[in-house]
Amino acid sequence: MGIHRISIKGMAAAPTDGASARRRPLGLSPSRLVLVGVLAAVCVAGSVGLAACAASGSEAGSGCPAESGEIFAEPVREETVDSLKEIAGEGGASSSEGVGGNRTSGAADPAGAVGADDADDEEEAAAREWAASDLDITEDFRDSFDHGPKPAANQKYIVLHDTEGDSDAASVIDWWDGNGNLVAAHFVVNRDGSVWQCVPLDRIAHHAGYGDTGHNDRYGIAEDGRDDMAGSAPIGGDFADYAMNAWSVGIEMVHVGGEGDYPEAQLEAVDDLIAHIDGYFGFESEIIDHKAWRSGNSDTLPEFAGYLESYQETRRHDG
């Protein structure tokens, strides 16, 4: 399928080889896209009507549309804008945690207005999304890594891993592809901050494997048939649950546990990558590390614990 590099400049990543992009602009939620479209249509219609009156020589307030027999839109009133915002869920809505940590639109503010705290939260969320504006991603998709569809409705978690080796991302991906286990994560982040992607975000990657028995229920996920489970072999006993792959994005960081801290460039790249994933899906997935799913796993040892807590609280390594 070939390797190519993409650069996200305020937009979600789009392949450079002409392939169709499945991503939308970062920083615009689906409701905001609806609002922008409706406002644009109303404003254009209003402008056309006014321009037509001017062209016919009519003065303001002369009732130009009625005289000509044609219907033109009126200028957009503030009340109309407010109504459109309410329809789009942008007026007085607050964020609430959905299942799996997804942010969903909450009930309208009883006061009918967005408070200062809500406005600050929206600004911070937008800043996080736009933080990915300089993120470069090298795409190296392999057919053997694709295990089924994962639409936004089935995305709930971002799972952080260590590679437990010093090899760079390109070598890790080649090793995954060559060992026949059909295992891979969506992304690999090098120590210098460069990011490689080998599975599209809307497809399932086998990065989490079998988890603790009972964890499907604990994390609110199910083995629903979307995952082909190719290459997997049931373990049973204490590790019988397998749903996480079909409900998550996997990020591998090139790191060996116990061999020192994570470079700042690598952590900043993970910050931007999380913002990119949030922007792609339009909501924030819950962040966990691999051992939360599979107890006893060696991924993300104690030197990462502080960063993990910060990611879970602020979606950045440094708060």
Q: List pLDDT tens digits, range 133-152.
A: 468 999 999 999 999 999 99
The CATH number for 155's domain is: 3.40.80.10
Is 114's pLDDT higher than 80?
Answer: no
Angle at 243 between CA 154 and CA 24, to 5 degrees: 25
121 & 270 share domain: no
Residue 210 near residue 241 (C-beta atoms within 8 A): yes
CA 155 – CA 250 distance, rounded (Å): 11
97 & 141 share domain: no
- Among 103, 132, 161, which residue terminates a domain? 132
Domain count of the chain?
Answer: 2
Per-residue pLDDT tens for 26-71? Answer: 344 444 444 445 444 444 444 434 333 333 333 333 344 333 333 3
Q: How much of the chain, in percent, has pLDDT values that exceed 90?
A: 53
CA 126 – CA 138 distance, rounded (Å): 25
Mark out the alpha helices in the chain (DSSP H runs): 30-56, 64-68, 78-87, 116-130, 169-178, 215-218, 264-281, 290-293, 305-314
pLDDT at 122: 64
Q: Is residue 175 part of a domain?
A: yes
C-alpha closest to that of 137 among 93, 77, 200: 200
Domain limits for position 85: 30-132
140 & 128 share domain: no
- pTM check: above 0.75: no
Residue 129 near residue 103 (C-beta atoms within 8 A): no
Q: Is residue 205 part of a domain?
A: yes
Q: Which residue has the tokens 């979600």?
A: 12
226 & 196 share domain: yes
User: Higher-confidence residue: 132 or 123?
Assistant: 123
Mean pLDDT, rounded, for 209-228: 98
Q: Is residue 245 part of a domain?
A: yes
